[in-house]
């Protein structure tokens, strides 16, 4: 209906990562060559040989689908799962993690509202997690198509998800931090080459103590709460279906700080 606004992709990634890219575009850069969303963590879950910190159903979907890359001259195109491996040093002590291409919405959203040369999304999955995902795929256990088991129709992926522990209930066994952010490369306002990582690190001990929820769940949830305030106050307004980068980032990030969910940025060597 005319006059209505739908805000899509408003969690932490996509969501905060898109807002960070918009902030960089408005305040830090005169020209953006690439926005590379980089996600990593040093979270450990005690008592389990393997336990994901986020929905395994969704993780399988994202990681085994062909990743999407955007380039100004080519538009959107796909590549192989786990392609373009790189080592990225995450801030605040998380350290170096191997990151690979993963399908994610930021690559589709950012070029619609930001003038960028290239957009990628990479997860710091780690070799063990990648091996598990590849094994699930080889065995067909990533499939959502029901199979018959003793007269019952079940989806292999649903079985995997039911077998593993619920990530939302593992907070008291989880240790470490999670980081989400956008690495922006281009020319600064002074015309010189610049590479800046705008990010948010959340400590699981803190979220469990303050909110009773594990860090990944909390970090995903806090950003739509702030976005709802932006919409309710009219700070963000418009018509149609829009992504977070369609709106001014400054008031969102200021309110994020007020909610006790601070963000930061660091300069990287060009």
Concatenated DSSP letters of 128-143: HHHHHHHHHHHTTTT-
Q: Let me know if domain 5-267 sits in CATH 3.30.360.10.
A: yes
The stretches in the chain having pLDDT less than 70 are 1
Q: What are phi and psi of 145, to 5 degrees?
A: -75, 125
Which pLDDT score is estimated for 1?
54
pLDDT tens digits for range 199-213 = 999 999 999 999 999
Which pLDDT score is estimated for 85?
96
Cα separation of 33 and 17, whole Å?
Answer: 16
Which pLDDT score is estimated for 229?
97
Which pLDDT score is estimated for 106?
98
Query: Residues for the chain: how many in total?
Result: 270
Which pLDDT score is estimated for 258?
94
pLDDT tens digits for range 32-70 = 999 999 999 999 998 888 888 888 898 899 999 999 999
Record the tokens describing residue 151, joined without a space: 């007269």
Domain assignments of the chain as residue spans, ordered by start = 5-267
pTM of structure: 0.92
Which pLDDT score is estimated for 55?
85
Give the chain's radius of gyration (CA, Å): 19
Alpha carbon of 199 to those of 26, 43, 66, 80, 242: distances in Å?
16, 17, 25, 27, 22
């Amino acid at each position: 209906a005319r006059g209505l606004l739908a805000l899509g992709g408003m969690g932490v990634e996509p969501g905060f990562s898109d807002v960070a890219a918009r902030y960089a575009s408005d305040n830090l850069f005169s020209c953006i060559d690439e926005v590379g969303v980089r996600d990593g963590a040093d979270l450990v879950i005690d008592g389990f040989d393997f336990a994901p910190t986020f929905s395994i159903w969704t993780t399988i979907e994202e990681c085994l689908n062909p990743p999407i890359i955007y380039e100004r001259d080519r538009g959107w195109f796909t590549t192989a799962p786990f392609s373009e491996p790189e080592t990225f040093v995450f801030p605040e002590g998380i350290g170096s993690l191997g990151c690979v291409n993963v399908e994610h919405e930021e690559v589709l959203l950012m070029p619609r509202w930001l003038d960028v040369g290239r957009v990628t999304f990479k997860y710091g999955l780690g070799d063990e997690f990648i091996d598990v995902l590849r094994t699930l795929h080889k065995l067909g256990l990533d499939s959502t198509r029901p199979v018959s088991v003793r007269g019952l129709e079940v989806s292999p992926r649903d079985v995997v998800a039911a077998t593993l522990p619920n990530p939302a209930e593992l907070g008291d066994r989880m240790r470490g931090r999670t980081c989400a952010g956008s690495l922006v490369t281009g020319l600064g306002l002074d015309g010189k080459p610049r590479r800046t990582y705008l990010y948010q690190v959340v400590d699981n001990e803190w979220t469990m103590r303050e909110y009773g929820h594990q860090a990944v769940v909390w970090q995903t949830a806090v950003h739509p709460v702030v976005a709802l305030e932006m919409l309710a106050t009219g700070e963000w307004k418009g018509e149609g279906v829009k992504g977070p980068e369609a709106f001014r980032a400054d008031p969102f990030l200021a309110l994020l700080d007020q909610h006790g969910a601070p963000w930061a940025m660091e300069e990287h060597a060009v």
